[in-house]
Structure 1
């Protein structure tokens, strides 16, 4: 199988209140342990803007 890329880092974060009543999960942290991936993404990773 041909190698097409390398994952350098995986970052996850929690959605928190942000400016003007919005929500953001921009403050993501590098994860050094193995993570579980489900159909919608990494477990414990959240998205702030669901629109």
Structure 2
């Protein structure tokens, strides 16, 4: 299982992706608060991580 943690804020969101064993699959990254960016997370991060 893949888990996406998102820390939501007014202007930006911090994101990290981990597996069910707690292994970090990406470094944390920041995204802006827009529908365009949020809609592209799955396509941006669907390729192999790390």
| Shared fold per TM-score greater than 0.5 | no
> Who wins on radius of gyration, i.e. which is larger?
1
Q: What is the TM-score when the length of structure 1 is the normalising length?
A: 0.27
Higher relative contact order at CA 8 Å, sep ≥6: structure 1 or structure 2?
1
**Structure in which a larger fraction of residues adopt helix:** 2
**Structure in which a larger fraction of residues adopt strand:** 2
Q: What is the TM-score when the length of structure 2 is the normalising length?
A: 0.27
